[in-house]
Structure 1
Amino acid sequence: MKLQKVKLVLFSSVILLFAAQTSQAEAPSPGTTDPVITQSYFEQNTLSEAKVKEIVASTIAANAGGSNGGTSTTPTAAANMKVVQLENGQTLYAGAGAEFIVRSGKVLAVSNDENGIPDVTGGKDLPAGTEVALNHLLIFPTEGRGIKPSPKNDTSIYVMVRGGFLILNADGSKVLQ
């Protein structure tokens, strides 16, 4: 009789253990099936196109600003492009980190040391006195470099500028923007 009780307990334990493993195997693992959600949950937890437009517009408005014609250290001034007209006899100097794109006219690179100006579009350094190609992006790592009209220039010079800059006349006086 005692042996039958032991067999019955052992058999019952095996059945319970098997049942427990089976129920665990049938339960889905997290992340293996697509969750079912309600439409209201979806609408509360997603961005609508109108909400995205609102966020973009407010960010652009918060970053509005521009350069004041001098070296600027404000992030909003560095984030916006300004179109500058350069006259014959003037030199456009860049602040550290400024970017120029010459849109029209013939200009030459200017540098107060032996280092040139990185022409990102052309993939080379422009030493002082080199003619700058139109529509090439120039990045100025330090101050003391810029551009000036070429003696061969016979048209208006327009430059897109991002960042701080300074325009000097031939006599060294500042041009107010």
Structure 2
Amino acid sequence: MTFNKNLVISLTLGIFIGVIGVVQADGTAGTTTDPLVTVSYMELKLKALDDKYLAEVNALKSQIEQLSQGGNSSKGSQLFEIINVPKDSAVYFADSAEFIVRVGKATVIDPNAVGIPDLTAGSKVLNGKGVPIDHHMLVPSNDGRGIVTADDCWMMIKGNYTIISNK
């Protein structure tokens, strides 16, 4: 009985490849040894992401609620509104808001260091500087600009604004 040399090599190689395939298929789905992704694996990962982002959203909602408890908002109008702003309060203006401080002392809040245009003087009032009495001021964009009062202030405001009382 004479065996063909090529037949023996082919059978040995076939058995070897078959054994490797069986060993590789032994891993469980969704592990590092078997990269097959199952629905349950994806649901688990998506649930973890949902929980993470839900916690962040709830934290932001809490911060917004804390800020809104200390202040009140006005929709503003096309006419000047006369309001009294208590001492140590902050007034933040929306875009295109106009205001005039009639009585009291206030300083500019400007996180971007661009100033608030003073239309009466034709200049800008920079962060930390006093707002001149009876000067027409304009806030061009909703970027956190406003004023903080050092005294009780009477103001005229046209447009949207938010008052946050520090009392």
Residues in 2 aligned to 1:134 and 1:170: alpha-carbon distance in whole angstroms: 23
Once the two structures are superposed, residues 100-131 of structure 1 have per-residue CA deviations (whole angstroms, 9 ceiling, x without a partner) of: 00000011011121110000001111111111
Q: What TM-score do you get using the length of structure 1 for normalisation? A: 0.50
- Residue 96 of structure 2 is matched in structure 1 by 97
Residues in 2 aligned to 1:161 and 1:140: alpha-carbon distance in whole angstroms: 11
Kindly provide the amino acid, as one letter, of the partner of residue 73 in structure 2: G
Once the two structures are TM-superposed, the CA of residue 166 in structure 1 deviates from its matched residue by 0.3
> SS in structure 2 opposite 1:70?
strand
Q: Indicate yes or no: 2:129 matched with 1:133.
A: no
Give the aligned length: 95
Kindly provide the amino acid, as one letter, of the partner of residue 96 in structure 2: G
The residue correspondences of 1:1-177 to structure 2 (distance < 5 A) are 70=73, 72=75, 77-143=76-142, 144-150=144-150, 153=151, 156-170=152-166
Once the two structures are TM-superposed, the CA of residue 70 in structure 1 deviates from its matched residue by 2.8
Once the two structures are TM-superposed, the CA of residue 71 in structure 1 deviates from its matched residue by 5.7
Superposition misfits of 4+ residues, deviation over 2 angstroms: 69-72
**For residues 71 and 85 of structure 1, do their structure 2 counterparts lie closer, same or farther at Cα, with a shift above 3 Å needed?**
closer
Asked if 2 retains the 8 angstrom alpha-carbon contact of 1:71 and 1:95, the reply is no
Once the two structures are TM-superposed, the CA of residue 161 in structure 1 deviates from its matched residue by 0.3
Residues in 1 aligned to 2:119 and 2:138: alpha-carbon distance in whole angstroms: 7
Kindly provide the amino acid, as one letter, of the partner of residue 149 in structure 2: P
Once the two structures are TM-superposed, the CA of residue 167 in structure 1 deviates from its matched residue by 0.1
Kindly provide the amino acid, as one letter, of the partner of residue 139 in structure 1: L
State the identity %.
27
Q: What TM-score do you get using the length of structure 2 for normalisation? A: 0.53
The runs of 5 or more residues in structure 2 that have no matched partner are 1-71
Residues in 1 aligned to 2:98 and 2:149: alpha-carbon distance in whole angstroms: 17
Residues in 2 aligned to 1:129 and 1:107: alpha-carbon distance in whole angstroms: 9
Once the two structures are TM-superposed, the CA of residue 78 in structure 1 deviates from its matched residue by 3.2
Kindly provide the amino acid, as one letter, of the partner of residue 166 in structure 2: A
Residues in 2 aligned to 1:71 and 1:96: alpha-carbon distance in whole angstroms: 14
Residues in 2 aligned to 1:97 and 1:70: alpha-carbon distance in whole angstroms: 16
